[in-house]
A and B are shown apart, each in its own frame.
Chain A
Amino acid sequence: MSPIGKTLLGFHAWGGMLFSWLLIPVFVTGSVAVFEPEVTHWMQMASTSAQATATEAVALAEVRLREVGKEAPLWRIRLPTDREPLIGIGWGKNPRRMNEELLDAGSGEAIAVRETRGGHFFTHFHADLLLGPAGRWIVGAAGLVMLGALISGILIHHRFFSDFFTLRPRAGKRRTWLDVHNLAGISTLPFLLMITYTGCVILAETYMPAATQVLYEGNHRAIRADVIKNFERKASGIPGTSLPLASHLNPAEKQFGAGAISSLIVRNPGDRNSLVQVYRRVDDRISAVAEHITFDAISGDIFGQQRDWNPMAFAYRTQVGLHVVHFGGGTIRALYFLSGMLGAVMMATGTVLLLRKRRQQHGLDRRQRALEALGCASISGILFACSALLLANHLIPAELADRAEHEITAFFIAWALSLIHAWRRGDRAWREQYLLVTLILALSAVVDLASGGAFDSIRRHTDFVIGGFAVLTCLASRRFIHQEPPR
């Protein structure tokens, strides 16, 4: 191999493995985050039977908001969808810290759900490891190394096309690992390049802030304000008689198409200067931009609307949309989940390949054991942590104070335990952790089905997916992970 090839291989193997400790958890949580609303619904243990039209839902929300949000200058209504079948309402002063409630789409009554971060935890962890800007730096750096590892992987794989369909399950162990690594990488290569690149683009503003500093004096929100027109006006202090909120749906649908409304914002409800802003849904196009139209709440006249976008902003939001996959329905989401998990499989097998090679060369010294423990904690450990979060969510009593925080504590404790376990148990840890994951996932699905999940279609589907995943981890523990028996 040429010196350049050797350097590339060294970077690919070591850079890939060191950053895979972070990237595998990021890929696993990111894949789960594709189903954020479903996971939230599951974790809230909410149940729904009723469905409502947009008009009914808005009317129900308005009744409730008039009760609880009388004084609030800002109301928000999210219409129910197949993925989020409850009506979401919010009221308050600060749009970032609203009081929130979920309403039954049939009766309009507030539903008490478990206090939980829900699927948002996975999204949040995926994007910044719950560390804020510092986390975005870390994930961004890992993303850049991932891009480098992908490209160096293509360059050093000199049998790219001739090994396109190659999988030799009964060849030597090393061959099989390499075949799985190559298959997972090549089959999902377009996806991996796209998701890593768009992920880096989304985070770019954090680690390349020069433009924001120069043009907007470092104020991120100023960029947003430049792109998204907000039609607002000050409250007059004089009360006015508003039209029913639902009466704005028809004129909005004339602009956006039937059934295309996703949410409403009401500014200064009850005031003569009150405005109603109606947002179009974003799930039928790639670009994550929501067209919106604002009506005068008293007269119903159009106050302003935005349907054109700055081309650069539109291009940027297209890349965001490609990454967060609101479009294309269940099929595309399933493909994203599958591809993301295959990306994690590719990294996991790469890690195993390097660890095995290093063990042959160096034997099982302390450093080797540390590397193997970290590898195990990032692969089976993250699955263990995620499944522990799901089970903890269902087992921690709903009344307990700060229960949402306890769930997250459970996640990190489980992850730390997996590292300690991997360090102490060595080779056996992989198999044991996968079996434990199988057990916990199966238990979570059963607990959920037994506690009302069987009667709610979203939760039932989620339980089946969890159960299916349990079967996969069980197979993984049997087929792939265990090392050869000592000769």
Chain B
Amino acid sequence: MSAFTISLFLSIMGMAQLALGMDRHHRQFWEHAATEASLKRYRRSGWGFLLTALAPCLIDWGWAIGLIAWSGALTTAQICVTLLLAATRPR
């Protein structure tokens, strides 16, 4: 598995949790409301995953190109999560 695949996987996990940390998408996906505390946990963990996703890129490419690859992974992950949300539970 290439470093980028790992980074993309982590980014998708992170973006998914950021989405679930938003009241609207939490209701959309789980079909029930969440407490503010659990939303916060989702968001915090989501940011953690996104930051972790930087690591494989840095190991494979170093800082200069790694940051570009990371932002590419974030872009792809955001689109994937948005499409998944729209496909699984359309509003």
- The reply to whether B83 and A167 contact each other, CB–CB distance below 8 Å, is yes
Give chain B residues whose Cβ lies under 8 Å from the Cβ of A168: 86, 90-91
Give min CB distance, B43 to chain A, whole Å: 11
- The reply to whether A328 and B68 contact each other, CB–CB distance below 8 Å, is yes
For B75, give its contact among A166, A169, A187 (CB under 8 Å): A187
- The reply to whether B82 and A165 contact each other, CB–CB distance below 8 Å, is yes
**Cα separation A342 to B82 with both chains bound (whole Å):** 15
- The reply to whether B91 and A165 contact each other, CB–CB distance below 8 Å, is no
- The reply to whether B75 and A335 contact each other, CB–CB distance below 8 Å, is yes
CB within 8 Å for A188 and B75 given contacts A162-B24, A171-B91, A328-B61: yes
- Name A435-468 residues within 8 Å CB distance of B: none
Interface of B is mostly: helix
Say yes or no for B1: interface residue by CB 8 A criterion.
no
- Name B52-91 residues within 8 Å CB distance of A: 61, 64-65, 68-69, 71-72, 75-76, 78-79, 81-83, 85-86, 90-91
Give chain B residues whose Cβ lies under 8 Å from the Cβ of A164: 18-19, 22, 78
For B82, give its contact among A183, A285, A338, A339 (CB under 8 Å): A183
Name the residue on B nearest A191 (C-beta).
Answer: B75
Give chain B residues whose Cβ lies under 8 Å from the Cβ of A472: none
- The reply to whether A339 and B91 contact each other, CB–CB distance below 8 Å, is no
Give min CB distance, A274 to chain B, whole Å: 37
Say yes or no for B42: interface residue by CB 8 A criterion.
no
Give chain B residues whose Cβ lies under 8 Å from the Cβ of A188: 75
CB within 8 Å for A167 and B72 given contacts A162-B24, A183-B79: no
- Name A172-214 residues within 8 Å CB distance of B: 183, 186-188, 190-191
- The reply to whether B71 and A332 contact each other, CB–CB distance below 8 Å, is no
- The reply to whether A285 and B75 contact each other, CB–CB distance below 8 Å, is no
- The reply to whether B75 and A328 contact each other, CB–CB distance below 8 Å, is no
- Name A319-361 residues within 8 Å CB distance of B: 322, 327-328, 331-332, 335, 338-339, 342
Say yes or no for A286: interface residue by CB 8 A criterion.
yes
- The reply to whether B75 and A165 contact each other, CB–CB distance below 8 Å, is no
- The reply to whether A285 and B64 contact each other, CB–CB distance below 8 Å, is yes
Interface size band for A? 20 to 34
**Cα separation A285 to B2 with both chains bound (whole Å):** 19
**Cα separation A69 to B18 with both chains bound (whole Å):** 63
For B2, give its contact among A170, A190, A331 (CB under 8 Å): A331
- Count of chain B residues with a beta carbon within 8 Å of a chain A beta carbon: 26
Name the residue on B nearest A334 (C-beta).
Answer: B72
**Cα separation A190 to B72 with both chains bound (whole Å):** 9
For A165, give its contact among B2, B68, B71, B81 (CB under 8 Å): B81
Say yes or no for B25: interface residue by CB 8 A criterion.
yes
**Cα separation A327 to B75 with both chains bound (whole Å):** 19
Name the residue on A nearest B65 (C-beta).
Answer: A328
Give chain A residues whose Cβ lies under 8 Å from the Cβ of B91: 168, 170-171
Name the residue on B nearest A168 (C-beta).
Answer: B91
**Cα separation A339 to B69 with both chains bound (whole Å):** 12
**Cα separation A186 to B68 with both chains bound (whole Å):** 16
- The reply to whether A328 and B69 contact each other, CB–CB distance below 8 Å, is yes
- The reply to whether A169 and B86 contact each other, CB–CB distance below 8 Å, is yes
CB within 8 Å for A187 and B78 given contacts A162-B24, A165-B22, A331-B4: yes
Give chain A residues whose Cβ lies under 8 Å from the Cβ of B85: 165, 167
**Cα separation A327 to B65 with both chains bound (whole Å):** 8
- The reply to whether B82 and A332 contact each other, CB–CB distance below 8 Å, is no
Name the residue on A nearest B19 (C-beta).
Answer: A165
- Name A61-84 residues within 8 Å CB distance of B: none
Name the residue on A nearest B62 (C-beta).
Answer: A285
Give min CB distance, B26 to chain A, whole Å: 11
- The reply to whether A332 and B24 contact each other, CB–CB distance below 8 Å, is no
Residues of B within 8 A of A (CB): 2, 4, 15, 18-19, 22, 24-25, 61, 64-65, 68-69, 71-72, 75-76, 78-79, 81-83, 85-86, 90-91
List 6 tightest A-B contacts by C-beta distance, closest first.
A335-B72, A167-B86, A165-B19, A187-B78, A165-B82, A331-B4
Extra pairs beyond A190-B71, A191-B71 (5, CB < 8 Å): A165-B15, A165-B78, A167-B82, A183-B78, A327-B65
